Amino acid sequence: MSQLTVRPVTDRWDLRAFVRFPWRVYRGDPNWVPPLIAEQLRTLDPARNPFFQRADVALLLARRGREVVGTMAVFLDHKAVEGLDEPVGGFGFFEVIEEYPVAARLLDAAAAWLRERDARWMRGPMNFNSADHPGVLIGGADCPPAMLESHTPPYYADFLERYGMEKHQDLYAYRASRHQIGENMENLPPELVRVAEAAERLSDATVRQVRLEEWDREVALIHRLFNATMTHLPYRVPMSEEAFRRIAARLRPFIDPNLVVIAEVAGEPVGLCLALPDINRVLIHLNGRLFPFNWLRLRRLTRRVDVATFKMLGVLPSYRMRGIDALLYMEVLRGFIAGGYAWLDGSVTSEYNLMVNLVAQRLGAERYKHFRMYQLTL
């Protein structure tokens, strides 16, 4: 049998092999959503992804002879280390065939790389930040993931735990059908409606849709709210504006203005609620490629998307407990009904985000996916 080796990606041929490898792992899995190959190549290119300017990164390829059998990115994000005030490194883009020795060799190489840089913990998986495909799937593999959610074979969790990794945190995805909400939102808990109505009367808060014609200004505003309203969550690292703009640019063609709303008090932005048409319902049909023929299918497939994915609800700390969160949530639900969507996904929510988990359960939403992030003490 050929010798197993783990080496860094060094050229464009290695990089293409790295990006194409998941097609082997998920062959025959009807619920896997292939990423766009061109987008993955841009994400992993130091010249085109600003993440590489603030982090040390190594892309690792496991091979048996010439055959690729596993991939992993290992990184030390200097801004994350500064923000968390702890020397923690990350790993992601973790894909491996169902052979534990291959996974162990990749993890050995990643751990050694981080030790050389004085990291004390290795945490993941996540694709460079905790908002992008965090964790491995613990439960809920019977349906496709929504955008930015992970979808992994069941043996990934087994391999990580066998290696000695421990749970860092669990993450959840919820869903609710249009029928559960009601065509006129008549099935919502009465207290939610009362709180939203009181907030509209008493807090001087107004809610407006995102202004796509003022794209640069609005992205800067939403980025600021995104970071400022999530400070209560443990392990939350502020996202750089460059990284945020990169994600926003990818999503721009799919944004439904009815699903992105901003709360203002006296003209000042104080809160944000953001949902998006789930582009995974499109990507699952494209097999990783837009050209030459899938580009023509894109618009038709996008029009047929019937799932909205709820990604964020946040209010500045000084404006909490005024019902503004309920006001924002109600407005997005109106957009959901008006847009004709069949069901609403909410993902991903940390187990530590007690309020969002409580609201989801109170609304009768089903917790239909369960993810786990792991940590290794180095």
Instruction: Give tens-digit pLDDT for 323-372.
Output: 999 999 999 999 999 999 999 999 899 998 887 888 788 778 999 999 99
- Do 287 and 341 have their domain in common? yes
Asked, for residue 316, whether it belongs to a domain, the answer is yes
Q: Which residues contact 313 (CB under 8 A, 6 or more apart)?
A: 271, 272, 273, 274, 325, 328, 329, 356
Question: Is the pLDDT score of 276 beyond 80?
Answer: yes
What pTM did the predictor assign?
0.91
65 pLDDT more than 70:
yes
Task: Judge whether 378 lies within some domain.
Answer: no
Same domain? For 53 and 161 the reply is yes
Among residues 140, 173, 206, the one where a domain terminates is 173
The single residue listed with the structure tokens 């799932």 is 307
369 CA to centre of own chain: 13
How many separate domains does the chain show?
2
Residue 376, in any domain of the structure: no
Which band of pLDDT confidence, cut at 50, 70 and 90, is reported for residue 81? confident
Same domain, 179 and 167: no
Query: What's the confidence (pLDDT) of residue 200?
Result: 82
Q: Give the residue-averaged pLDDT of 245-264.
A: 90
Q: Which two tokens stand for residue 309?
A: 């994915």
Whether 126 shows a pLDDT value over 90: the answer reads: yes
The alpha carbon of residue 146 and the mean position of all alpha carbons in its chain are separated, in whole angstroms, by 9
Q: Which of 151, 173, 195 is the last residue of a domain?
A: 173
Q: What angle do CA 150, 156, 159 make, to 5 degrees?
A: 155
Residue 258 to residue 253: CA distance in whole angstroms: 14
The larger pLDDT score, comparing residue 247 to residue 309, is at: 309
- The answer to whether residue 55 scores a pLDDT higher than 80 is yes
CA angle 158, 144, 110 (to 5 degrees): 40
| 10 found inside a domain | yes
Evaluate whether residue 375 is within a structural domain: no
- pLDDT tens digits, 156-198: 999 999 999 999 999 999 999 999 999 999 998 888 889 888 8
Q: Are 259 and 336 in contact (CB under 8 A)?
A: yes
Q: What CATH number is associated with residue 265?
A: 3.40.630.30
Same domain, 158 and 214: no
Q: Hey, what are 58's tokens?
A: 């190594």
Q: Is residue 290 predicted with pLDDT exceeding 70?
A: yes
Residue 246: name the closest of 219, 207, 273, 278 by CA. Answer: 219
Tell me what the pLDDT averaged over the chain comes to: 92
Domain of residue 106 covers 4-173
377 belongs to a structural domain: no
Q: 91 with 122, same domain?
A: yes
Looking only at Cα atoms, what is the longest distance across the chain? 73
Intra-chain end-to-end CA distance of the chain, in Å: 32
In a domain, 224, yes or no: yes
Q: Are residues 30 and 142 in the same domain?
A: yes
Q: Do 134 and 217 fall into the same domain?
A: no
Instruction: Give the residue with greater pLDDT, 57 vs 301.
Output: 57
Residue 263 and residue 300 share a domain: yes
In a domain, 302, yes or no: yes
Q: Are 231 and 129 contained in the same domain?
A: no
Res 232 pLDDT > 70 = no
